[in-house]
Homo-oligomer: A and B are copies of this chain.
């Protein structure tokens, strides 16, 4: 058994059986090993941004890591920004990166680069294997690192001469450390804060599962505290029959106003609210200066266990019922497509048990409340702010949940970052309906110009935020990569296009012209 074969066997023993890849010469032995060893599904990407974003999306649904197989430093570099997003989302990803044979490194070949240096800023764990006999155990430790709560980025670099010689050894399964429940004195403090007036339980990470939300909802009913989630959440279970929690708004002035009524905040899997950016003359911390903030449990903790303990402290005795969102049957709006009308369309059209991958940026600011009463569904946000996550993440979500419908909500600026994901969707026959909001602008930046104090942007500044010269033809773009596509300019057409998309096998793209 060579090193490459021991890698594949060891990954499989550690429950990693899906590989997103764009391989090169230095990874050919691993590609060959995929042939001879059954059990590892390999999915080809035309650009590594798709591979790493797909691994992020896969983790969020499957709650176990996929691996990527990337070609040297540049292949890793191409996947870096979606690894940044995955890191911020707390997604576990195992990157396997090929490297030149050790003897070749000193020669500084064209593709030679500092792979560990490229990996480190986005990785919790980086190692380079030194010997074929170590590849298996290194892989097991990489998976263990990736599975460490709340999910980590592990990058294993494999020089060619660890892949091709004999001497590979298969490693067994390694378990990550178990997450821990918050200490009793913290739970007592949190309970006291939540029983007081003007208190907020701020949720993040795994606190947003259906069961955990139910517990949080009962705590809210029992104490009168408010519930919110972070501005961006890796995964939220929501819609009719679930406890609805709003998000801390993105626009800084609205966020500050929303948070101004809370004097006590308990953080459960969430971090204290801060501005997405710093702005001149605006605070970075969005909470009141006199607000008491308690970190009951960080995202790496046992959030379910902590919620149970908190629930026992607050809700034993009186059985409180959580307030659940009711199904709202929004009528189909008439007239032109607007963010508001699309919110109503989504409330009408999101299929039960769908997975919504949201990168709608400005177009989607109203979608949260508009879809609170949609059929029950799962919602993913971009947690790292690097645009281009939604189409790749949809690939991973679809592979994790082949029986569920995937809907991506994507701005045109964001969608153009990793359009190559459409080809992988077509290749794998994934049931993804892509809704592109063609406002032909980096609309968010027009607002940000004002926020940072630029009062009167001139034509050249505006030009840098405009995508209308030329306008992108999303229908042609999707078809060029094998997906069905249509363009809609009315709400009725959008409803029909969504229905068609959800009932079509394979990917469908809808360009909504705003």
Contact = CB atoms under 8 A, between A and B. Distances in A.
Contacts of A464: 21, 23, 31, 34, 42, 44
Contacts of A29: 452-454
A162 to B, nearest CB: 12
A278 B161 contact: yes
A460 B74 contact: no
Contacts of A81: 74-75, 77-78
A275 B26 CA distance: 13
Contacts of A413: 46
Interface in A348-380: none
A476 B480 contact: yes
Contacts of A277: 25-26, 100-101, 104, 109, 111, 160
A107 interface: yes
Contacts of A457: 31-32, 35
A405 interface: no
Contact of A32 (B23, B80, B461): B461
A110 B385 contact: yes
B35 A458 contact: yes
Contacts of A110: 88, 232, 276, 383-385
B77 A278 contact: no
B113 A121 contact: yes
A472 B423 contact: yes
A74 B385 contact: yes
A318 interface: no
Number of copies: 2
Interface in A4-24: 21, 23-24
Interface string A440-457: 000011001101111001
Given A74-B385, A476-B477, A278 B160 contact: yes
Contact of A452 (B25, B46, B73): B25
Interface in A64-104: 73-75, 77-78, 80-81, 84-85, 88, 100-101, 103-104
A386 interface: yes
Contacts of A114: 120-121
Contacts of A419: 419-420
Contacts of A386: 74-75, 77-78, 111
A489 interface: no
Nearest to A24: B445
Nearest to A163: B452
A469 interface: yes
B473 A479 contact: yes
User: Which of A25, A275, A477 gathers most chain B CB within 10 Å?
Assistant: A25
Nearest to A85: B74
A475 B477 CA distance: 10
Given A34-B460, A113-B121, 5 more contacts: A35-B458, A78-B386, A84-B113, A160-B452, A164-B452
When A and B form their complex, which 5 residue pairs have the shortest distance between CB atoms, in order from nearest? A470-B482, A74-B386, A101-B278, A35-B458, A104-B278
16 contacts: A21-B464, A24-B448, A28-B454, A31-B454, A42-B464, A75-B81, A77-B81, A77-B84, A77-B122, A78-B81, A88-B110, A104-B275, A108-B271, A117-B117, A118-B118, A477-B477
